[in-house]
Structure 1
Amino acid sequence: MTDKIPRRIIQVWGTLSSPDTTTDKTTGLPLFAKASAANLRLLNPDFEYLLFDDSEIDQLVDAEFPQYRSVFDSFSERIQRYDFFRYLAVYHFGGFYFDTDVFLASGLDNLLEFGCVFPFEHLSVQRFLIEQYGMDWEIGNYAFGAAAGHPFLEAVIKNVVRAQRYPEWSEAMLKSIPRMFRSKYFVVDTTGPGLVSRTLAEYPGARDQVNVLFPEDVCDSKDWYRFGDHGVHLQFGSWRKPEPLLYRVTYRYWETTTRKAVLSESLKRGGRRSLDFNSSTERRQEASRTSSSLRPRVASKD
């Protein structure tokens, strides 16, 4: 494992529409995703750019992570495959991953000094994080960077496997959400930002090994869903399924009132946050244990 993030950008798109993508695969992307890819490449011209479609995702999993093929095939939601793959790809190659609805305002050079970088996402409505770890916020997985083989990504990968093989592990987190809304958080807490945030809270080396791009004031919603000062996540949420109007209205009311209550408590703590959590030594030790006898493999250096 190298200790710094390499100059590499990774993106994923399931099916490319262009019949000939041998010269530039981004020509097969829809316009908004093509714009995101162009934005990332123009601001980081000396970075290697990798775009994976479904067939290449399968090829990499089979070649480098065959121990996870059964887990990969067992996901009930397609987005879970893409969530899991982004962790595997960055763990294997090193570099930055970006969703195709992330746009940058500046290059990434000043983040290359770090070994692992994740964005602050928002204050959390998940009582599990607050009650178990004193963590009233979450990190995002729409954009992040890490050195190849970084141990925090290894911990994330292990927890994705754990959530799939032992559903009760993720169900403990879901129980803090009203039953009628748990389906909205199923992906979030089994492969998405909820799982990554929980992994961070339980990770023994968080303070020394992971850099979170906190805003000046975590209680100011204008600073949520950003990649620090470098860019913004537009939150297209194209993976979510259509929902009936009454369900959407009811959920919006619950989320709004819950977030107001969380914000009221969070304001008492001020606008700054750190990577100090309330998890016990026993919980940290349990979270650091290997959930698979095979470790993920890292790409060899050129």
Structure 2
Amino acid sequence: MDLSSFSWRPILGQTQLRQLFTATRPSTYDRNVMNDGWGSSVIPKILHQTAKSKALTWEERKLVDRAKRVLPGWQFRLWDDDENSQLMAEHFPQHFEAYEQISRGVMKADIARLLYMHAFGGVYMDTDYKLFTGFDDQFLAASCIFGVERGEFETVGQEPTASDDVKLGNAFFAARRGHPFFSAMINGIFEKAPFVDLSDWELMTTSGPQGLSKFFLANLGTYRDIEIRSQSVFFPDSRFTGLSNHINDDTIGAHLCWGSWRSKRRVVTMKNRARRIVSALL
């Protein structure tokens, strides 16, 4: 049969093809794939933040405005508590009930930021994080990036070493969509459920920076593609009582550490608010 006269047309439309590809794409982590199939870079140009509601404070809005100037062309996504619950129900229904029973909003936010990387990828940044500069192609080509907040972490050849007091920050990190570290950590957190009457320290060691650090160090051999940047890059030391930071040529931003989630006396809260306003303006 001569098929040369036939006019070939795709059986499926673009939308159907995309749905089919999404449904059949492998869930296992392929280290040789340098993009997720939908964009030109591994880390998509999406900046995620989360807050109890869409009503950010004045100083938080100032920092968002600054980030938008630094990152033209990026998508900015502010997730509130209700949207975080919806994401959890969609992506981790097995943990949804335990998630909804968590009484501390900051713990839900700790988990939600991991979920953004699992579901979408991009950059996560706390609402009290000040961005100084944008991201180069090398940054966007990485699979996953965390920064040291305290201590030392070095990679010598193939053997990474960490100081006893090393702590990774969870106020800023970035990853490609679906990096397996994030689903693994979410599942690891919920192995400790239920979460009842957690102190600030228990919270931090479960889902916060200390919890993140413990999980990463316990799984160094599994996620060797994760890049760890030195403290000066994402979490430079503060100065002038937290009003500014020690910045050098490789500094991308600084966590202002407003600590609005902590349990504090009213007078301390008032002092912190004044410091927040000044640090947002500097």
Q: TM-score w.r.t. structure 2 length?
A: 0.66
Alpha-carbon distance in 2 for matches of 1:207, 1:140 = 17
Quote how far apart the aligned CAs of 1:119 are: 1.4
Name the amino acid aligned to 1:15. Answer: S
Alpha-carbon distance in 1 for matches of 2:78, 2:149 = 24
Given that residues 151 and 163 in structure 2 are in contact (C-alpha distance below 8 angstroms), is that contact kept between their aligned partners in structure 1?
Answer: no
SS of the residue 2:123 aligns to: strand
Equivalent residue in structure 1 for 2:168, among 139, 142, 153: 139
Equivalent residue in structure 2 for 1:80, among 89, 107, 110: 107
Given that residues 232 and 247 in structure 2 are in contact (C-alpha distance below 8 angstroms), is that contact kept between their aligned partners in structure 1?
Answer: no
Q: Deviations over 1:172-196 (max 9, x none)?
A: xxxxxxxxxx933111111101110
Alpha-carbon distance in 1 for matches of 2:195, 2:132 = 41
List 4+ stretches of structure 1 deviating above 6 A.
223-228
Name the amino acid aligned to 1:41. Answer: K
Name the amino acid aligned to 1:237. Answer: G
Quote how far apart the aligned CAs of 1:207 are: 6.5
- Higher RCO by CA contacts (8 Å cutoff, separation 6 or greater): 1
Equivalent residue in structure 2 for 1:104, among 131, 141, 146: 131
More helix as a share of residues: 1
Residue 84 of structure 2: aligned partner: 57
Match status 1:153 vs 2:175: no
Equivalent residue in structure 1 for 2:254, among 228, 232, 238: 232
Q: Evaluate the alpha carbon distance shift between residue 57 and residue 142 of structure 1 in structure 2; reply closer, same or farther with a 3 A threshold.
A: same
Residue 191 of structure 1: aligned partner: 207
Residue 48 of structure 2: aligned partner: 10
Alpha-carbon distance in 1 for matches of 2:266, 2:128 = 25
Q: TM-score w.r.t. structure 1 length?
A: 0.62
Alpha-carbon distance in 1 for matches of 2:61, 2:195 = 38
For the pair shown, which has the larger CA radius of gyration, 1 or 2? 2
CA RMSD of aligned residues (A): 3.1
Q: How does 1:280-295 map to 2 (within 5 A)?
A: none
Given that residues 118 and 177 in structure 2 are in contact (C-alpha distance below 8 angstroms), is that contact kept between their aligned partners in structure 1?
Answer: yes
Alpha-carbon distance in 2 for matches of 1:207, 1:61 = 24
Given that residues 226 and 233 in structure 1 are in contact (C-alpha distance below 8 angstroms), is that contact kept between their aligned partners in structure 2?
Answer: no
Residue 193 of structure 2: aligned partner: 164
Aligned residue-pair number: 210
Q: Deviations over 1:260-296 (max 9, x none)?
A: xxxxxxxxxxxxxxxxxxxxxxxxxxxxxxxxxxxxx
Alpha-carbon distance in 2 for matches of 1:150, 1:197 = 17
Name the amino acid aligned to 2:74. Answer: F
Quote how far apart the aligned CAs of 1:59 are: 2.1
Alpha-carbon distance in 2 for matches of 1:39, 1:206 = 36
Quote how far apart the aligned CAs of 1:166 are: 9.3
Which is worse superposed, 137-146 or 115-124?
A: 115-124
> Percent identity between the aligned chains?
27
SS of the residue 2:124 aligns to: strand
Residue 122 of structure 1: aligned partner: 150
Name the amino acid aligned to 1:163. Answer: K
Q: Evaluate the alpha carbon distance shift between residue 151 and residue 120 of structure 1 in structure 2; reply closer, same or farther with a 3 A threshold.
A: same
Equivalent residue in structure 1 for 2:98, among 67, 71, 74: 71
